[in-house]
Amino acid sequence: MRLSTRSRYGTRLMLKLALNYTKGPVFLKDIAQEEEISEKYLSHLVIHLKASGLISSSRGAHGGYRLAKPPQLITVKDIVQALEGNLSTVECVKNPSVCKRVKGCVTRDVWETLDEKISDTLNSVTLNDLIKSKKLVLE
């Protein structure tokens, strides 16, 4: 399994919003500039993050993007799932009906365990944890 730039850049975007959580909305152009990521690319990511209820936006001079809930309530799994969709390494783990060998498959247990470990790891880290791990300062 390989995470796309969607997840990596999306997590960086969300971390910037977390760092500004108490300060207010942030313009996408500012995040794009600071993170050296195309604003156009980030604008595609915010569509999925908004649809997942992770961020909100407001218009106007004091508008921009902000987290929809506190950084300690948003996990890396939330972000990756919003941007990548199904996190399963093998389709049959989440949807057994796609494989006729599912009942006798000797490797399926390995894929299930792998999916659980990935899910547990991503779910165990919040934006707040990332901030603390790098001793970043909430603005």
Neighbours of 82 (CB within 10 A): 23
Side chain identity at residue 67, one-letter code: L
Task: Output the furthest CA–CA distance in the chain (Å, rounded).
Answer: 61
What is the tens place of the pLDDT at every residue in 93-132? 888 788 888 778 888 889 889 999 999 999 999 999 999 8
Question: Rounded to an integer, what distance in angstroms lies between the CA atom of residue 33 and that of residue 86?
Answer: 30
pTM, 2 dp: 0.88
**Residue 138's pLDDT band (boundaries 50, 70, 90)?**
low
Question: Rounded to an integer, what distance in angstroms lies between the CA atom of residue 47 and that of residue 17?
Answer: 15
Question: Rounded to an integer, what distance in angstroms lies between the CA atom of residue 42 and that of residue 29?
Answer: 9
Side chain identity at residue 98, one-letter code: V
Fold classification of 5-87+127-133 (topology level): Arc Repressor Mutant, subunit A (1.10.10)
Domain ranges of the chain: 5-87+127-133
